[in-house]
Every structure is written in C-alpha cells, then in structure tokens.
Amino acid sequence: MQVRILKALEEKPVNFSELKTDAEIESSGHLQFHLNKPSGLVGTAAEGSYNLTDDGGEAINVRNSTSTGPGGVAIHAKGPSIGLPGWAKPLIACLMIVVVVLSGVAVYQRQEITTMTGRASTTSSSAQVSTVTSTTTETVFTTVGPYDGLLFISASGLCLAARTAVPCWGTNNPYLFTFSSSCASSEGCNQTVATGPFPSISKYVVNLRFLFTNQTTPVQQNCIWSVKGTTPQQGYAYCVMINPTSFWVGMQGPAPP
C-alpha cells in the first residue's frame, strides 16, 4: 500500500480524496493510518495537499530504475563497463559486507522501536477504552507523545455553558472518537459524548469534519468541530488517528469559554 501511495504522488501533489482514488484505497481510515506512519517519505504542502519528500522521491526513483524480466528476475539498467584494478575488487567486496551489516543493524533497531511504539499505543488505547466505559476508573495521561501541549476533548468531567453541556478540554484522559467515512464528507459525522458521573446531564452531540482543510485553516490543524445548543461552539482542531478506526480531537489552548 505504501508503494501505491508513493506512485500516486510521483507526478504532482494531490489532496486526500485524489490520493485515495489514485492509490486505489477504499478506506479513508486506512489511508490516514498509513499517512501518519513516520516513514519520512510523504509530506504535507502548505495548502493541505500531500507530496513526496526528498527521501520519497529518491525511493520511487530507485524503484523505477529496476524492472522485472522473465520469471520475475529483477534486471537493473546497465551502463558502460569500467575496468577496475585488481586491488579494487576485494576493497569493494569488504565495503559491501560493511554496508549489509550496518543495514541489518538499522533494520533490527527500527523493528525494536516499532515494537515498543506498538506496545505503547496498545496500552494507551486499552486504557482509554477502559476510562470511557467505566465510571469508577480514570486513567491520567501524563504525556501524549508528540502531541504534548495540546488540549483534548476530555472523556471525564462536566462542563456547562448556559446550563447546556459542552466539551470539556484538558491534557488528561482524551475522549476516543470513532472514525467512519462520513467524518471525511462535507457534512461530517455526528457523535454523542457523555462523560462524568452524570452522563444524562453531560451528554452533548459534536459534529466532526475530518479531514478538513482550506486556505483559512491554521497550520497543522486538519479537522473542525462544532456543538449546537443554547451556546453553540465550534473551532479548528488537530485530529490524531490512534488506530484505523479511532482518533482524538485536540487543539492549542486556551479552551473555548
């Protein structure tokens, strides 16, 4: 799937919908999940479209320089042969061995980092679900990784505006929203949130449009939220995919009044 994304971005930058079509990926959640992977091959332009980074361009060039011959054998483009002195061949062989060993070490380290990150994500996601479904257990997040400093719509507490429930914002205990294809539509998706010890009082409906970008969207913010009621509220936010079907809604402080 990563190769299809790179091939779709080879000619020019495209927006999320075009990338989903060109890469032939049916699920918006799966596409967003792969775009959030820290591969360093895909970047985001100022206008919100996606493009290849220098590393991504190099990766696709390397792939394009290799074709497949009969029987699935890779055939590399050959240039004019260059004669090498006798001492050069052993030196080149030693260098190739060193490169292979270093590459193996790098792959091992990356796998270890990926495994540790996956365990941390699984632990955080499990703790979050526990907090949402239980009225007696509250998990406090002392950090949210690269999203330190953001305020998130909270899964606990009771916040009122003109006696109407509105989102509570904080750095702890983010609410886990469910991602669906309707969230990426122009109408967005409506989700009911009930928090705290009195869910009937704290219940409200929030509309989320994710992904949402235009020329007025602040940098690094990719969705918009709104709550109707006696005191309606809305604003831009940074929606963070936790897995292909769930996400947090965060924003730079201060929280709405």
At 187-215, the pLDDT tens digits run: 999 999 988 777 788 889 999 998 777 76
What percentage of the chain exceeds 70 in pLDDT? Answer: 72
Using alpha carbons, select from 180, 182, 207, 179 the residue that is nearest to residue 192: 207
Q: What is the pLDDT of residue 40?
A: 75
Q: Give the tokens for residue 64.
A: 């394009």
Rounded mean pLDDT, 216-225: 78
Helices (H), 156-252: 199-202
3-state DSSP call for residue 191? strand
Residues of the chain with CATH 1.10.10.10: 2-68
Structure tokens given for 3: 């190769």
User: Closest Cα to residue 209, out of 182, 228, 229, 175?
Assistant: 182
Question: pLDDT tens digit string along 7-62?
Answer: 777 777 877 788 778 777 777 777 677 777 656 777 777 677 877 788 777 777 77
Question: Using CB atoms within 10 A of its CB, is residue 42 exposed (0-12), middle (13-18) or buried (19+)?
Answer: buried
Confidence of residue 119 (pLDDT cuts 50, 70, 90): low
- Tell me the pLDDT of the chain averaged across its residues: 74
Q: Which of 190-204, 214-228, 235-249 has the lowest mean pLDDT?
A: 214-228
The pLDDT, as a whole number, for residue 206 is 94
Its pTM stands at 0.41
Contact indicator for 9, 55 with CB cutoff of 8 Å: no
Tell me if 241 sits within 8 A of 32, measured CB to CB.
Answer: yes
Segment (H or E) for 165? strand 164-166
Average pLDDT over residues 107-116: 70
Residue 148 has a pLDDT of 65
Q: Which CATH class is domain 2-68?
A: mainly alpha
What is the per-residue pLDDT for 120? 52
The percentage of the chain sitting over the pLDDT mark of 90, rounded to a whole number, equals 12
Q: Which two tokens stand for residue 59?
A: 């990766």
